[in-house]
Chain A
Amino acid sequence: MRREEDKYDALIRILRKSVPEPVDAKETGDKVIERIEKIKKKETRFVNLFDYLFGWVYNEWLRRGLVAASIFIVILFAWQQTVILKRLNTLGSQIINAGEMPVRDIPDDLSGKLLLYKLSGRKISWKKIQVSEKQLEDLIESVNEVQTKYENLIQLIEDDPELRKELEKKLTEKNRKKFNL
């Protein structure tokens, strides 16, 4: 082990003694200065371009004007925001009942009342549609009339086979059309 350490120390002494050949410091200096000059030139070019583009900001009156304009824009923005908020609040307070507008005019005749009841999806209260005794009698009478007419029609169709056939044909066509749709 001792021998390994001695070898190590001896080798380190040799390596310490072997120094690299001194580099030409003057040449290094020239190269470094040349690189620095190039960097400086680049920086100067950038500064010149920057001054050309934004040099006008150094004008005193222009700067003051810009400050005033920016303050004005900020105030305008704040005012606009306030107005918008106010309008939003006003709109928010208004109740919109689209689709549920109250029905003011209820028709007098029974068929009109029934149509209104049907169209409203049976939402209108019966209390709002008042029916008189006469209107009720008329309704019963018309229903009876329809019933009689219907029975007569059925009898007529049964008595005439040709009519029946024709009707069945029409109904079949009608059903097919419905199906196709």
Chain B
Amino acid sequence: MIDPDLIEECRKGNLHDFRKLIEASTPYAFSLSCRMLGDEEEAKDVVQDTMVTVWMKINKIRSPEVFRTWLYKIVVNKCYDRLRKRTKSQEVRADDGLWEKISNQISSEQVSELEYRETERVLNLLTERLSPVQKAVFVLGELEEMSHDEISAITGMSRSNVKASLWHARKKMGEMIKKYL
């Protein structure tokens, strides 16, 4: 939770406090952008762009309480832009060894974490058939574990649309799992 006073100070134009705000909110923004884009370097750029936008528009937020949602909204929009610019040729292929490793982990029922590079490849492959919107809903709902209301506030979609997008995303993911695992 980010201190509302810190946000208030930033709204007054205090650059020193804004640095503190960047340090506090970067992990959230980076995690989301990394999961959406599946590319750490691109995610870092998105975080920087997001923070510059936050500085320029921080006066527009109604109250400090909505800051986190607003921050996620900016990140998601920046990720949309980048995902739309991507060409189909940038598809990623995961090697058989990685699928075997995941299969073993799933069957052993002992969930351990993958190296993040491996996670990036798995995510990119499983979500390649999802539209940017479905991908955003999937990452926010399934990986960031947000409620439908929070996703609705971030993406600007209605609650029923969020549910529908999540259902489609799960269906497509299920097909991919069936294909690879």
Binding site for B on A (CB under 8 A): 4-8, 10-23, 25-26, 28-29, 31-33, 35-36, 39
Within 8 Å CB of A15, what residues of B? 114, 119, 122-123, 142-143
- Smallest CB-CB A-B distances: 7 pairs: A18-B119, A17-B113, A25-B23, A20-B34, A32-B51, A10-B106, A25-B26
Q: Does B170 contact A (CB under 8 A)?
A: yes
Determine the chain B residues whose CB is within 8 A of the CB of A31 once the complex forms. Answer: 48
CA–CA, A26 and B20, complex, Å: 9
Q: Is the CB of B52 within 8 A of A36?
A: yes
Closest to A6 in B: B106
Q: Which of B52, B114, B142 contacts A12 (CB 8 A)?
A: B142
Q: Using an 8 Å CB-CB cutoff, how does the interface string of B39-57 with A read, 1 for contact, 0 for none?
A: 0100110011001100110
Could you name 8 residue pairs across A and B whose Cβ atoms are closer than 8 Å? A4-B174, A7-B181, A10-B109, A11-B102, A14-B105, A14-B113, A17-B112, A36-B52
CB distance from A42 to the nearest CB of B (A): 12
Is there an interface contact between B31 and A11, defined as CB atoms closer than 8 Å? no
Which residues of B come within 8 Å of A, CB atoms?
A: 15, 18-19, 22-24, 26-27, 30-31, 34-35, 40, 43-44, 47-48, 51-52, 55-56, 102, 105-106, 109, 111-116, 118-119, 122-123, 126, 142-143, 145, 170, 173-174, 177-178, 181
What CA separation (Å) do A21 and B55 show in the bound complex?
Answer: 25
A8 to B15, Cβ gap below 8 A? Answer: no
Cβ A28 vs Cβ B48 within 8 A: yes
The answer to whether B111 and A20 have CB atoms under 8 Å apart is: no
B48 touches A23 (CB 8 A): no
A108 CA to B52 CA in the complex, in Å? 103
Closest partner residue, chain A, to B114 (CB atom): A18
- B44: contacting residue among A7, A14, A18, A23, CB under 8 A: A23
Minimal beta-carbon separation of B89 from chain A (angstroms): 24
Q: Which chain A residues border B111 with CB–CB below 8 Å?
A: 10, 13-14, 17
**What CA separation (Å) do A33 and B14 show in the bound complex?**
12
Of the candidates A8, A10, A12, the one whose C-beta lies within 8 Å of that of B143 is A12
Cα–Cα distance between A6 and B109 once the two chains are bound (Å): 10
Q: Which residue of A lies closest to B120 (CB)?
A: A20
Residue of A at shortest CB range from B144? A16
Which of B30, B114, B173 makes the CB contact (< 8 A) with A14? B114
Tell me the smallest distance from the CB of B124 to a CB of chain A, in Å. Answer: 12
A20:B143 contact, CB within 8 angstroms? no
What is the CA–CA distance of A14 and B113 in the complex, to the nearest angstrom? Answer: 6
CB–CB B55/A20 < 8 A? no
Contact partners of A6 in chain B: CB under 8 A:
106
Q: Specify which chain A residues have a CB less than 8 angstroms from the CB of B113 in the assembled complex.
A: 14, 17-19
Q: Which residue of A lies closest to B178 (CB)?
A: A4
In Å, the complex CA distance between A13 and B110 comes to 10
Other A-B contacts than A23-B44, A32-B48, 16 sampled, CB-CB below 8 A, are A4-B177, A4-B178, A7-B181, A10-B106, A14-B105, A14-B106, A14-B112, A15-B114, A20-B31, A20-B35, A23-B26, A23-B47, A28-B23, A28-B51, A32-B22, A33-B22
